[in-house]
Amino acid sequence: MYLGIDCGTQGTKVVVIDLDRARILGEASRPHHLVEGDKGRREQHPADWVAAFRSAFADAVDDAGITPDAIRAIGVSGQQHGLVALDARGEPVHPAKLWCDTETAAHNDALVERLGGEAGCLDKLGLVLQTGYTASKLAWLRDVHPEAYRRIDSLLLPHDYLNFYLTGERVAEAGDASGTGYFDTRRRCWREDVLTVIAPELDPDRVLPRLVEAHEPAGTVRPALARELGLTDDVRVASGGGDNMLGAIGTGNIAPGLVTVSLGTSGTVCAYSAEPVVADSAMVANFCASSGGWLPLICTMNVTSATNRLRELFGLDLTSFNDRMASAPVGAEGITVLPFFNGERVPALPHASASFLGLTSANTTQANLCRAVAESATFGMRYGLELLGDLAADASEIRLIGGGARSPVWRQMVADITATPVVCPTITDAAALGAALQAAWCDLSPATTLEDICSRLVALDETSRAAPHPEHVATYHEVYGRFRQTLADRHGIPV
C-alpha cells in the first residue's frame, strides 16, 4: 500500500492506493483555515497542515480497511510557492505566505528590476519572476518583519515542510523548487547568487534544502512519529513535489502530447516537454516536472475560488449552482465578468479586483451570473492555452482535474470554449494520486518505471467525456473576444 498526501489551499487530502489491485482503497480530507488581510495578504499556519494530515491519515487508513503497518511509502504534494521559513529549532518564524498572496507585488517588481528585467530573469532562472513566487515573499519578510527574518535557519516550501515533519530532513526537488524564484529551471540547481540578491544576510549553504531527484526518497519516517502513526520503522517518504507537478503524474501527463487543465481554487494549464522551454510570454513558467523533464505551466488565481464566492453569496449548494449554470444560455446574455477577486497572475494584474459588466434589468439573474463567472474563469484557461503555443496547439484532448471538473456543465463549457475534447481521469483528485504513484516509484525504482506505475492506476472516465459543440464553439469565440476586449479596455492587456 502507498499513501498520497495533497496539502492544498482549502484542505489536505490523503489517499491509500493498492498498486497490485490498481485502485484507491481509502481516502479522507480535512479543511484548512485561510488567513486573509488587507493588500492581498493570504497566509496559513503550517501547524494546521500537520493537524489536517494526522486527522485525514487516520480516517483514510480506516476507510481503506487496513492497518498502518501495510504502508510501504508516502508521497507528498503541496501547494506551490508558499514561504515556510524555519528557525534553528524547526519552528516557523512567521505564518506561511501562500501562492495566492499578492501583498508582495511591489517587492516582486523590484526584484525583477534588480535581476536585469525579464531578460535577466530568463538568463539566470529560465523563467520570469511573478507575484506569488517565493522570492518576493522572502524579500517582503526581510522588509516588513526583520526580527522574524533574522531568525531564519532554513527556507522550505509547503510540501518540503510536510516532508520535514515526516522525516526530519530538509530537502527539495526540482519541480516545486522551480517556483521559488531562486532556482535555475534549466540546469536544475539553486541560484545562490540570486538568493543573495533577495536576502543578502542569509547563507545559501545553510538555509537552502538539499536537492534530491524526483525518484529519490526525502528520507524515512522519524521513529517516534512512525510509532505514533502505527507505521513500520522503514517507511520511505518520496521526494514529493508541487501540486501541479504531482497532478500531472496523476493524469499520466509524463510524456509529450497531453495537456492537463485543473479547475481548482486556482486554474492551471500544463503540458510535458522533454526539453526546457523558452516561451514567447513571460507568464509561461518553465517549471521542471516531478517525473523528469519539464512542465511548462501557466496559473490563474481565480477559478473555483471565484465561483465559490458567488455560490456562497447566493446561498447555493454545488448542485443548485450547477443547475443555475445549466439553465443560463451560452454567453450569459451579454454579461462579462473579470473574476479577479484575488488579483490575477495570468494576465499579470496582482492588484486587480473583480468586475461584472453588461448588467441590465433583463439579464441580471442568478443563473446568468453563475454562468458568467464560470465562463470567465474558463476564458482564463483558454488564454493560458494560447500562451503555451505549440505545446498545446496539437493536443488531441484535455485531461481535466480539480473540483470544477466534477461538473458536467463546466466540462462541456471547457470543451466548447477551447474547441478541444475534454475527459476526466477516473480519479480527479490527481495531486493526491500522483503523490501516491510517486511514492510507489520511489519504492520500486529502478525495477519498475513511472510509466508502468501510471498505467496501472491512471484511467480515463469515458462517461465524463465532452466533445465540442460546433454551434457553441462559434458563439464562445465571439464571447471570448468580448472578454479579451474588456481586458484591453480596463487593464491595457493587448487583444
Query: E strands along 216-316, which residues?
Result: 217-220, 236-238, 241-242, 259-263, 267-271, 285-288, 294-300
Cβ atoms of residues 78 and 148 within 8 Å: no
Look up residue 406 and give its three cell numbers: 466534477
Q: Any bridge partners for residue 210, and if so which?
A: 171
Q: Is 243 a catalytic residue?
A: yes
Give CA separation, 125 vs 54, 197, 210, in Å.
Answer: 36, 13, 18
Longest dimension (CA), the chain: 66
The CA distance from 312 to 306, in Å, is 10
The CA distance from 289 to 173, in Å, is 10
Cβ atoms of residues 227 and 454 within 8 Å: no
| CB-based contacts of 235, cutoff 8 Å, min separation 6 | 71, 72, 73, 74, 220, 221, 226
Pairing of strands 96-97, 42-44: antiparallel
Q: What angle do CA 116, 193, 96 make, to 5 degrees?
A: 95
Cβ atoms of residues 287 and 179 within 8 Å: yes
Cβ burial of 463 (10 Å; 0-12, 13-18, 19+) is: exposed
* Catalytic residue of the set 6, 101, 160, 243: 243
Look up residue 261 and give its three cell numbers: 487543465
What residues are labeled active site? Answer: 243
